[in-house]
Amino acid sequence: MSGKPALWPWFGGAAFLIAFDQWTKYLIRSSFQVGESISLIGEDLIRLTYVLNPGVAFGLPVPSRTLLLIFGWTAAAALAVYLSILIRRRDALRWPILLFFSGAIGNSIDRTLYGEVTDFLDADFPDFIMDRWPVFNVADSCVTVGVLLVALLVLFDRRPAHSPSPHDLAPGSSAATVSSDDGTRSATSAD
């Protein structure tokens, strides 16, 4: 692989996710009344339920909508910069950051235009956590999948914590210890 990877496919993918999130929210706003619900799978397993969330995740309240807006757009900008860096490095973390970025933009658009986030996916999970999962949307799903990807990357990252390089030697040192394929260690000159 030569040269730097292109950014546009990644940001194009984010644009697709953001557009899909906004399109699904538009369909719900134009087809349902707030509070209206229909079953999709089973009697209660998965429903479409139109709710407006003025707070953050799980409907938790916020002290200031203005601060939430500022935080959302600032986080989105920071994620865009970080995503660009990760893409250039070909870092696996670019996948969940792409999802976080898409989710942050999707819900920030709602807060900017409507003052609240449109949620509509209503799923029942086993009652060991809660009766029903809080109603969510595509942007929320992006963030949730991103969190799961980060957890998988952390759990299954098999890279060594840190391999010494010649740059790690103390000033004035002229040797480093290097491991060979058979597991033996030998000193080599860094000159």
CA distances from 43 to 40, 124, 137 (A): 8, 10, 20
Is 127 one of the catalytic residues?
A: no
Which position among 140, 168, 182, 191 bears the catalytic label?
Answer: 140
Which position among 21, 110, 119, 122 bears the catalytic label?
Answer: 119
Q: Write down the residue that tokens 């916020």 correspond to.
A: 62
Is 44 one of the catalytic residues?
A: no
Give the distance between the most distant pair of CA atoms in the chain: 74
Give the count of beta carbons closer than 10 Å to the beta carbon of residue 89: 12
CA distances from 149 to 56, 96, 161 (A): 21, 6, 20
What are the φ and ψ backbone dihedral angles of 150, each rounded to 5 degrees? -60, -45
Q: Write down the residue that tokens 């538009």 correspond to.
A: 26
DSSP state of 116: S
CA distances from 91 to 43, 94, 104 (A): 43, 6, 21
Instruction: State the catalytic residues.
Output: 119, 140
